[in-house]
Amino acid sequence: MQESSTNTNYREWNIKPTIAANNTTNPIRAIVDNGKYKPNPSKSLIPLSIGDPCVFGNLNVEQSVNQVLKQNIDSMKYNGYPPSIGYEPARNAVAKFVETPTSPLIASDIILASGASGAIEIALSSLLNPGDNILIPKPGFSLYECQSKNKGFELRFYNLLPNKSWEIDITHLRSLIDNKTKAILINNPSNPCGSVYTREHLLDILAVADEFCLPILADEIYCSMTFGETQFIPIASLTSTVPVLAIGGIAKRFLVPGWRLGWIAIHDRNSILGADFKRSIISLSQIILGPNSLIQSILPTILDVNNEGIQKFFKEVNKTLECHSNLTVELLSKVDGLSPIVSHGAMYQMVGIDTKKFKDIDNDVTFMGKLLEEESVFVLPGTVFGLPNFFRIVFCAPEDKLRDAYKRMEDFCQRHKL
Ligand SMILES: Cc1ncc(COP(=O)(O)O)c(C=O)c1O
């Protein structure tokens, strides 16, 4: 007998985007990838938009790093599954690389992950339940939002102050805290601001964390990528009371974002987070079964602080980025309508747009779109970081490309001025 359509086993195809998928939105993709803006076909594209130092081929990983990787491939020792939190020698190397005399670490304090992004995702899930909130910077890296919303974590944005070197507005930060607040996320040095916090400012942040018993999630992926006299100070080195989950990785410092290796360093000197927390974070690391074994295998060599070749490489990269940062400020501060805010680290420059000076540019998204369409220079509008009327430049491109891009920006602003 034929089955009737009322049979409860009868189903029709009906596959829809899930709630998690619908709640996963990356503001950069939403604004920039909507197909609305196209570069000018008669001008070569200069992309200063993505935080990838490899785009132009002028910044490359140190040669010895590649050699170690090749040897380790040939050894056949790293083809199996490592523990989900990473090989012990690799974690030990990270511990030595990240620790300071006042914030010592051992291998068991380190969780390796698939990029700093993977580390942030694990850290967020280890601190928040759905409905809890976390305080995050505005302007800030859009991935925090992307990773939180689909898990039902609430984001509360604290303001950074452009006229105070992008320091946190501490009064505003405090005003956002309630009994559902589970952590304060800071990003130092900052994407998109290029700011680097002073000891005093870090102590001010720690005072709030201490008062409200809130752990710090410190995204320090740009650690030590600083210019001139500016020093990077790991926030964990300044506290013995506030637990700090410090995020790092090799993407930016070693110029290999595609290698996907990051970590969480758990600083918990008073055992406030305790053994249960470590167990839960290890459980969360098991979702992905850990990061790439081959890349882990090179960490003991490349993170060795006595590796002179690598230390020299770090200095050279910082010097190049510093020159590019200085060039950016020098050239763009001469352009009427633009106000670059000096960077002290990372690879980013925020530039203010005075829309009153332009006849047909009323916001940063229009500025970005027209600049791309007319001059084929691609920057990201501040809106994607939560701060309209700014745009962000990634200054990793070779100097001649930067000069060309800034000349085109000058011509563009000239053409559009009131
Ligand atoms: C502030 C910040 N944190 C984390 C990441 C992600 O790093 P990874 O490529 O290691 O996932 C980035 C990448 O641009 C970043 O700018």
Mean pLDDT over each residue of the chain, to the nearest integer: 95
**Domain 63-304 classification at class level:** alpha beta
Q: Measure 27 CA to ligand 1 centroid, in angstroms.
A: 15
Q: Which residues contact 135 (CB under 8 A, 6 or more apart)?
A: 156, 157, 158, 173, 176, 177, 181, 183, 184, 185
pLDDT of residue 150: 87
Contacts with 225 (C-beta within 8 Å, 6 or more apart), sequence order: 189, 232, 252, 253, 317, 318, 321, 345, 346, 347
CA of 6 to the centre of ligand 1 (A): 52
CB burial string 358-383: b at 16+ within 10 A, e below: beebeebbbbbbbbbebbbbbbbbbb
Beta bridge partners of 390: 352
For residues 111, 112, 114, 118, the Cα torsion angle rounded to the nearest 10 degrees is 20
- Confidence band for 36, pLDDT divided at 50, 70 and 90: confident
The single-letter DSSP state of residue 341 is: E
- Residues 52, 374: Cα–Cα separation, whole Å: 24
Question: How far does residue 257's CA lie from ligand 1's centre (Å)?
Answer: 8
Whole-angstrom Cα distance, residue 404 to residue 153? 43
Q: Is 352 exposed, middle or buried (0-12, 13-18, 19+ CB in 10 A)?
A: middle
Least confidently predicted of 222-231, 267-276, 330-339, 399-408: 267-276
User: If residue 217 lies in a helix (H) or strand (E), which one and from where to where?
Assistant: strand 216-219
In the numeric block, the tokens 């005093």 are attached to 200
Q: In this predicted model, which residue has the larger pLDDT, 195 or 305?
A: 195
What confidence score (pLDDT) does residue 22 get?
87
20 has pLDDT over 90:
no
Q: Ligand 1 atom closest to Cα of 114? A: 11
- What pLDDT is recorded for position 181? 98
pLDDT exceeds cutoff 80 at 115: yes
Domain assignments of the chain as residue spans, ordered by start: 19-59+309-416, 63-304
Token pair 């303001």 is found at: 159
Count of alpha carbons within 13 Å of 395, Cβ hemisphere only? 35
8 vs 20, higher pLDDT: 20
pLDDT at 7: 63
Answer whether 53 contacts ligand 1 (Cβ < 6 A).
no
pLDDT at residue 1, as a whole number: 44
Q: What is the 143 CA–ligand 1 centroid distance (Å)?
A: 8
Question: DSSP string covering 131-168, please?
Answer: T-EEEEEES--THHHHHHHTTTPEEEEEEEEGGGTTEE
Rg (CA), the chain: 23
Return the half-sphere exposure (C-beta side, CA atoms, 13 A cut-off) of residue 170. 12
- Residue 171 confidence class, pLDDT cut points 50, 70, 90: very high
Structure tokens at 401: 């490309």
Q: Would you say the CB of residue 225 lies under 6 angstroms from ligand 1? A: no
- Mean pLDDT computed over 22-31: 78
User: With contact defined as beta carbons under 8 Å apart, do 293 and 82 qualify?
Assistant: yes
Tokens found for residue 56 = 């132009």
Ligand 1 centroid to Cα of residue 51, in Å, is 8
Position 359 scores a pLDDT of 96
115 Cβ closer than 6 Å to some ligand 1 atom: yes
Is 248 touching ligand 1 by the criterion CB < 6 Å? Answer: no
Q: Which atom of ligand 1 is nearest to the CA of 262?
A: 10
| Mean pLDDT for the stretch of residues 173-189 | 98
Under the banding of pLDDT at 50, 70 and 90, the label for residue 10 is confident
The mean pLDDT value for 68-90 works out to 97
End-to-end CA distance of the chain: 80
Tell me whether residue 238 is exposed, middle or buried, using C-beta atoms within 10 angstroms of its C-beta: 0 to 12, 13 to 18, 19 or more: middle
- For position 274, what pLDDT does the model report? 84
- Structure-token match 């990003």, residue found: 187
Pick the CATH number of 19-59+309-416 from 2.40.40.20, 3.90.1150.10, 3.40.800.20, 3.60.21.10: 3.90.1150.10
Using one digit for the tens of pLDDT, what is the confidence trace for 376-397?
Answer: 999 999 999 999 999 999 999 9
What pLDDT does residue 108 have?
96
Q: How many CB atoms lie within 10 A of CB 39?
A: 18
Predicted pLDDT of residue 367: 97
Q: Which residues contact 134 (CB under 8 A, 6 or more apart)?
A: 124, 127, 128, 144, 148, 153, 154, 155, 156, 181, 182, 183, 184, 185, 217
Is the pLDDT at 167 greater than 80, yes or no?
yes
Average pLDDT over residues 74-85: 97
Does an H or E element contain 390, and which?
Answer: strand 390-394
Give 12's pLDDT tier (boundaries 50, 70, 90). Answer: confident
Mean pLDDT of 353-376: 96
Residue-level pLDDT at 8? 66
Atom of ligand 1 nearest to the CA of 260: 10
pLDDT at 5: 52
